[in-house]
Chain A
């Protein structure tokens, strides 16, 4: 079975500092990995995904994520955090070998950027 873990419920970072939101996954085959962001009272917005190729994926709003197969991780990063980045972040995975199974989401990490 596929699963995603986001080990931190909450991450606090000062504006201008780099931020990292952690994600680890478990699949039997190769993973498709996604990051989404959710602002209050809104749906999920797609940030970036890893399908294949370069392990460093660049996405929207200056976010990037690094796929690490040996550590089964896909951490989300941004070099300089903005107050407007404060939101709920979700990591999701689909096992390439499982075909069209649903995306499995982590529990989410609440990011708070302090001015």
Chain B
């Protein structure tokens, strides 16, 4: 089975621009979560989607948004980019039922650099 894929892998943007990142979960997985990883803050949860509905949301400003499509693919969007948004953005998908004990599998991440 193919793993979680994320595109693009690397991205350079300037302040004020917006960016869209894409994630394709493992086939059959309906839960997709997004995380931001930075050296200073570690792994911070952004949001989770399950069957096209946002199920959980982290403590990030409204500039960060996401959505999930009927095929479970997910996108996250960051508008009005700030220097502090430079990070590795990780996507993870979880089981068929998205249940509490199921393992999350992570993609390789998208490294975003904001200049």
Contacts and interface: CB of A to CB of B under 8 A. Distances in A.
Contacts of B56: 100-102
B103 interface: yes
Contact of A43 (B48, B98, B99, B106): B106
Interface in A57-98: 90, 94, 96, 98
A105 to B, nearest CB: 4
A13 interface: no
Given A44-B90, A102-B56, A107 B42 contact: yes
A42 B101 CA distance: 24
Interface string B88-108: 001010000011110111111
Interface string B56-77: 1010000000000000000000
Given A100-B56, A102-B56, A108-B42, A94 B100 contact: yes
Interface in A4-45: 32, 34, 36, 41-45
Given A102-B33, A102-B58, A105-B43, A51 B109 contact: no
Contacts, number: 55
B101 A36 contact: no
A94 B101 CA distance: 8
Given A102-B48, A108-B42, A43 B100 contact: no
14 contacts: A34-B104, A41-B111, A43-B106, A43-B108, A44-B90, A46-B105, A49-B103, A90-B43, A98-B100, A100-B48, A103-B45, A105-B43, A106-B42, A107-B42
Interface of A: 32, 34, 36, 41-46, 49, 51, 90, 94, 96, 98-108
Interface of B: 4, 6, 33, 42-43, 45, 48, 50, 55-56, 58, 90, 92, 98-101, 103-109, 111
